[in-house]
Structure formats: structure tokens, C-alpha cells
Amino acid sequence: MNYLFPHQYKKIGLMALIPSVILGVVVIITDFAPEFLDIKIDFVLSANPFTKSTNNLLNEILGILVILSGVVVAFSKEKVEDEFIEKIRLESLVWSVYVNYALLFLAMVILYDFDFLFFMTFNMFTLLIFFIVKFNWRISKLKKTSFDEK
């Protein structure tokens, strides 16, 4: 299978992903924004005339960390890559897309305005997270059940 990271990257990615996700959730909920990460926006690439002139970088940094480490963890090779793992990876990915869009569908119907925006902040990342959980869950179940040797 193409486009996969070497197996070693998974652990490194996880070390970055887990704290980033935890911190990210905390920051979204509490709006924590340490002052030393405030920056002034001189060049405004926005159609909105009311764009703020300062922005706190913490959410950007965390978002980038989650995206990068999430992608690496999600798409690192397993220790032994073969056709069966490929099939499981594909099925997990399809499942994750279904679940992610089902949630989005629900959110569109139930949530509005700021509530919807609040949901969307999470929804940006849940596809990756769902896939990571589903795929690794299936792999670990496999490893447990195949202990009837001989």
C-alpha cells in the first residue's frame, strides 16, 4: 500500500497527538489563551472588515499539531503490512467517514449558529480520530483472537 509512513513514526506521532488532543479539547471549552502567544495581525487575508487585529496562536498551534500527528498516527504502517491489514484499513476508513458524516448530518439538523460552530471545531478532526480508534481496535481484537495456534 502506498502513501503510508514507516511503522516507527506511529509512536512518535502518538506522543504528540495525545497531549495535543487533550489540550485542544481543554482550550476549546475554556477558551484558554496565554498572553505570550498573542500576535498582531498586520496582513489581513479576509473578506470580513471586522477581523480582529490580534489573534492568539494557541488554537492554531494545537490544530496544526493534531492534524500533523493525527495523520501520521492514522497512516503509519503496521509492524507487518499485508493484504489483510490493507482490507481492514480500508473498511475502517469507510466506517469512519460514515460515522463522521452521520454526526455532521445530525448536527446540521439539530444545532445552529454558535452551537453548530462549536461542534464544527471538533468535527474538523473527528474523522481522523474515529479512524485511528476503529482501525487500532480491530487490529487489537485480531491479535487477541488469533491465539489459537496449531
Partner 1 sequence: MRNNIKVERAKNDMTQAKLAELAEVSRQTINAMELSKYVPSTVLALKLAKIFGRDVQELFELEDKDWK
CB-wise, 103 or 138, nearer to partner 1? 138
Q: Backbone phi, then psi, for 41, in 5-degree steps?
A: -95, 110
State which residue, 84 or 112, has the beta carbon closest to partner 1. Answer: 84
Distance of closest approach, residue 91 Cβ to partner 1, in angstroms: 12
* Rounded least distance, CB 25 to partner 1, Å: 33
Q: How far is the CB of 6 from partner 1 (least distance, A)?
A: 17
Burial tier of 66 (Cβ tally within 10 Å: 0-12, 13-18, 19+) = buried
Quick check: 107 and 119 in contact, CB under 8 A? yes
Closest CB 87 distance from partner 1, rounded Å: 7
Residues engaged in binding partner 1 (CB under 8 A): 78, 80, 82-85, 87, 142-143, 145-146, 148-150
Rounded to whole angstroms, the Cα distance separating 26 from 58 reads 11
CA 13, distance to chain mean position in Å, is 12
- For partner 1, the closer of residues 11 and 87 by Cβ is 87
Containing 38, the helix (H) or strand (E) segment is: strand 38-40
- Residue 25 or 93 with smaller CB distance to partner 1: 93
